Amino acid sequence: MTEHTHAEGSATAVPFGEFRIGRTEQDGAVVVEVAGDVDTTTAPALVQAADEALAQEPPVLVVDLSRVEFLASPGLTALLTIHRNAATATAVRIVASGRATLRPIQLTGLEDSLSLFPTREAALAGS
């Protein structure tokens, strides 16, 4: 069973099979950092964490997938849901650069629907 841990700013390695979400504020944006596998059992927790962040109506929401080891189709659906749930005043930016995250997004053609960035810094800067 996958454990859903909501950790604030946790930078430690994620043990195999463990899933974590951390939420921080940085440079006026809300950053939701995800670690572990995003699949059928964990994707709803990602959407919930993003929805909680979106309730604050931040100008920018960064979903940082740089520590995600596996992104299944429910995770892709979660990213689209987060994008759809955002108010027009909130820019949703996705950090995806590794093979585990960027490749599934590209294979499904979602790079045209999502704002993708290679690093958190680039996402925060919007470039």
Q: What is the pLDDT of residues 8-41, one digit of tens each?
A: 443 444 455 689 999 999 989 999 999 999 999 9
Please, is 1 exposed, middle or buried when counting C-beta atoms within 10 Å of its C-beta (0-12, 13-18, 19+)? exposed
Closest CA to 24 of 8, 36, 35: 8
Burial level of 115, CB count in 10 A (0-12/13-18/19+)?
middle
* pLDDT at residue 7 tops 50: no
SS3 66: strand
First to last CA, the chain: 38
Q: What is the pLDDT of residues 65-122, one digit of tens each?
A: 999 999 999 999 999 999 999 999 999 999 999 899 999 999 999 999 999 999 999 9
